Structure 1
Amino acid sequence: MITKYFKRYYEEIRIEKSERWGTCNYYFEADLNGEVIRQIEVYENNKVLKYSEQMMEDEFGFLTDQPIDLIDFKEFEINKNDFEYQWHR
């Protein structure tokens, strides 16, 4: 399967249970249809959330069920090694 990798920064500040998580870098692994296979959320306070088919959701979020637009995300493309580094840290 051919996959693409993306990193996209979101400015929205997240607060969970009165704790400020801050802004977030989202990492996505997607197939050529834009279906997200794995997703990582790295917050300003160093909290990390990871989702995949093996771990689809937790108390804080879930693996997106919406495909990403590969054309819109083109400028956010990263290499596989950058994604895997975040996945395994």
Structure 2
Amino acid sequence: MAEWALIIPLVVGSICMFPFLLLAAGGLLYAFAYPFMLIWAVFTSGKRLDDQIADTASREVSLRDSLGRDPLTTLDGGYRTDITEC
């Protein structure tokens, strides 16, 4: 009976500690992987950012050509035509 008195707390303690050990292992893995992920992002994000900027500029030009104006530069948004002075 004395053996069970020692085994049960160890099993319960192990079950309770498992999530914390798993979280600690994930944190250590992330801490070691983060510098490599940062270096990878520095080397690969420049071209992607240039492509996104070029895509935004081309969409802006096509929108301006189709509408004849830039819809974001009007004061009233182009929705109200019956504006009178108060």
Could you tell me the TM-score, scaled by structure 1's length? Answer: 0.15
**Larger Rg belongs to:** 2
If each structure's strand is expressed as a fraction of its own residues, which one has the higher value? 1
If each structure's helix is expressed as a fraction of its own residues, which one has the higher value? 2
Could you tell me the TM-score, scaled by structure 2's length? Answer: 0.16
By relative contact order (CA 8 Å, sep 6+), the higher-ranking structure is: 1
